[in-house]
Amino acid sequence: MKKAITPQKRDKSLVPLSREHHFGLLFCWKLRQGLKNGTDLSLMRAYVRYFWDTILKAHCDEEEWVLKRLLKADDTVRGRLEEEHRLLHSLVELIEDGSPMNKDLFKVLEQDLTDHIRWEERELFPYLQSVAHSDDLELVGELLSHKHDPRMDNFTPEFWTKKAQAE
């Protein structure tokens, strides 16, 4: 019998980042649907670039900004986050360049981003909450709330829907 995963209590300072993970997971779902629907890869490439430019890059930058304030430079968790962000950006660039392996790269990006978000939610954020001083977390939360604009995914056409495929 599979053990149910209990939702973890998120420190309010990390909630803006945690909420954005929903957008990341939805982005991954849209990529899966697009591949399943046989969407033209140039349209999906445009969506990947759009999502990187409007949501994902700023999100990654904010996470790194938070970790620089809460963890020492030699913390392996901080290093892992930065390395995974670099790898995600490299995948976006490979997709944008139109590599002949493009379809597989979409799958790799989708899986790597899903795994990365799950790691952040299940391991990174609980780790931050356990090692960072509560005053530091509170300050990060205040700073994030001032510089954190709600992001929207308004890409069209909605290739992930069956209807968009018929147009």
- The class of domain 12-150 in CATH terms is mainly alpha
Q: How much is the pTM?
A: 0.88
167: pLDDT confidence band, cut at 50, 70 and 90?
Answer: very low
Per-residue model confidence as pLDDT tens digits over 103-128: 899 999 999 999 999 999 999 999 99
The domain ranges of the chain are 12-150
- 3-state SS, the chain, equals CCCCCCCCCCCHHHHHHHHHHHHHHHHHHHHHHHHHCCCCHHHHHHHHHHHHHHHHHHHHHHHHHHHHHHCCCCCHHHHHHHHHHHHHHHHHHHHHCCCCCHHHHHHHHHHHHHHHHHHHHHHHHHHHHHHCCHHHHHHHHHHHHHHCCCCCCCCCCCCCCHHHHHC
Per-residue model confidence as pLDDT tens digits over 10-19: 788 888 888 8
